[in-house]
Amino acid sequence: MCGIAGFIEQGVLKPTHAWQASASVVLDRMCRIIAHRGPDDQGTMVRDGVALGMRRLSIIDLAGGHQPISGEDGLVTTVFNGEIYNYRELQSDLEARGHRFQTHSDTEAIVHAYEEYGPACVRLFRGMFAFAVWDERARKLFLGRDRV
C-alpha cells in the first residue's frame, strides 16, 4: 500500500526560494521514511506554503498514475493512498459533467470529484483510501479517508 505525507505552513502566501528549498528537503525526508510503503514511484509538490508527497505502489494505471495529480486548471491537487473501487463509474459521471481525464487512474477521479462536489466527494468513494487535496483557489487542505 502507498504512503502519503505533507504539511502546510500557515501564513506563507508568497514563499521565498529559501522556504521552497527547505520545504522540499523536509518533504523528501518524509517520503524517504515511508519508501517501504511504495517502491515504484515518488512524487512531490511544494508551492504556496503547502508540501504534499507520496510513495506509490503501482496497482491501477501503472504508467499514467504518477502523483501528485492536478485538475485541468492546476488549482486542485491530490496525493492518494489506496484504491477507489468505483472510480470508473465516477469517471463516466464526471466526464458527462465536462471534466477531462488525462489518465486512467483512480487518483484523478478524486481530483475531479473534489472539483465538482467539494468535500462531499468523499461520500461517493467506495474502497479503502486516504488522501489529501490542496485547493489553491480556496487555500484549503482537505483530508479524507474511508469509513473504517
Q: Is 2 a catalytic residue?
A: yes
The CA distance from 50 to 7, in Å, is 6
**Catalytic site residue from 1, 2, 125, 126:** 2
Handedness of CA 121, 122, 124, 126 (dihedral sign): positive
**What amino acid is encoded at 96 in this protein?**
A
- The H or E element that residue 90 is part of is helix 87-96
The string over 5-28, giving b where at least 16 C-beta atoms fall within 10 Å of a residue's C-beta and e elsewhere, is bbeeeeeeeebeeeebeebeeebb
Tell me the catalytic residues. 2
